[in-house]
Each structure stands twice: as C-alpha cells, then as structure tokens.
Amino acid sequence: MIAQDIEKVLLSEEEIENRCVELAHQIEADYKESGDTPIIVGLLKGSVPFMAELIKRFEFPCEIDFMSVSSYDGTESIGDVRILKDMDLSCKNRSILVVEDIIDTGRTLVEVKKMFKNKGCLDVRCVTLLDKPSRRVCEIEADYVGFEVPNEFVVGYGLDYNQKYRNLPFIGVLKPEIYQ
C-alpha cells in the first residue's frame, strides 16, 4: 500500500543486500587488521534496517549500541543536533563505528564525531548506506559508503518522510503530491 506513494525506485532490496555484503567484508578486514573490538553504534531510527543487514555478516568480535540524535523536521535540516537518547555502553578508550542511513548536510555526523572524540574514544569511523554529497554544508565524509544518491529526498530502508515509509524494503522517491 505505501509502495503506491513511490514515484521511482532508486535502489532495489537486492542491490542493497549485495552492497551490504561487500561493505561488511571491507569493514571486517579493517577491524581484523587493527585487532580492535569496536562498538557498532546505530543512530536511531533510520539506521536500523541497514545495521541489521550489515552486522549479521560480521564475524569479528564487536558490541552494539544505539543513540538517538535529531536534526530534521519534515524534509528540512534545522541545523542544531539534539541528543534524544545516549548510548548505554561507555565509549571511553573504545573504537566506535557509527552506522548511518544517510549523510546529507553532514551536520549530524560532524556533531556525533565531535561528541565521541570529547568522550575519549580511540577511533571513530562511520559507515553510511547513502551519501548525498551535493547537499553538504560541512566538510565530512564517511569511511564506508553504500551508495551515492542524487539531490532528491529519498525514503525507505529506514529513511522516513514525517516518520513514514521506513519499512519499505527499497530506497525510492515519493510522488510530488505526497509532500503536501
């Protein structure tokens, strides 16, 4: 039913799953080399489907946790990043892999990385399912990127429009009449 609101599919479920396998191998090789046991920190809520798909492929030791930060109201980045829920685990002297669904303006990742550094983390990396470089206002890149997307508001696979469409198993663009 909600799929009827989609104008076009940008990334199919199969494409996303295949890319998750590649990303997981790359990440695993890097952490095996460093010997670290990282904390994989998902940023709620958008990262949940991607994080689930990714971590089940990891064979190295890791711990998982979640944080909730918010910087969006509808489709608008509101600039300041608020922490709504902090991690449960202590991150001092730990390696952190932040899991994001999308890097857009880059404001969220800049603030989150700053926060982890201030808390005494050894190493902070980021894996994002999507990267929208054309919208960047902060100079920041993720260490691992699933796909680059054009300057369009995308939904599905965790990404929402006003909290809806996160449960779509693919990434798509909504029909223009939905944004009323």
Active site residue 104: yes
- Residue 131 touches ligand PRP, criterion: CB under 6 A: no
> Which entry of ligand PRP, ligand HPA, none binds 108, CB below 5 to 8 A by partner kind?
ligand PRP
Among 67, 94, 107, 127, contact with ligand PRP (rule: CB under 6 A)? 107
H, E, C per residue of the chain? CHHHHEEEEEECHHHHHHHHHHHHHHHHHHHHHHCCCCEEEEEECCCHHHHHHHHCCCCCCCEEEEEEEEEEECCEEEEEEEEEECCCCCCCCCEEEEEEEEECCCHHHHHHHHHHHHCCCCEEEEEEEEECHHHCCCCCCCCEEEEECCCCCEEECCECECCECCCCCCEEEECHHHHC
CA dist 112 and 2 (Å) reads 32
Binds 153: which of ligand PRP, ligand HPA, none (CB < 5-8 Å by kind): ligand HPA
Using the rule CB under 6 A, which residue among 97, 98, 103, 124 binds ligand PRP?
103
94 binds, among ligand PRP, ligand HPA, none (CB under 5 to 8 A by kind): none
Look at residue 154 and give the partner it binds from ligand PRP, ligand HPA, none, a contact being a CB closer than 5 to 8 Å depending on partner kind: ligand HPA
Q: How far is the CB of 10 from ligand PRP (least distance, A)?
A: 16
Query: Per the residue annotation, which of 104, 123, 143, 160 is the catalytic one?
Result: 104
Distance separating alpha carbons of residues 21 and 40, to the nearest angstrom: 16
Q: Does 38 bind ligand PRP (CB under 6 A)?
A: no
Distance from C-alpha of 48 to C-alpha of 169, rounded to nearest angstrom: 12
CB of 104 to ligand HPA, least distance (A): 4
Binding site for ligand HPA (CB under 6 A): 72, 102, 104, 153-155, 159-160
Task: Give me the residues that bind ligand PRP (CB under 6 A), please.
Answer: 43-46, 70-72, 77, 100-108, 160
Q: Which residues are catalytic?
A: 104
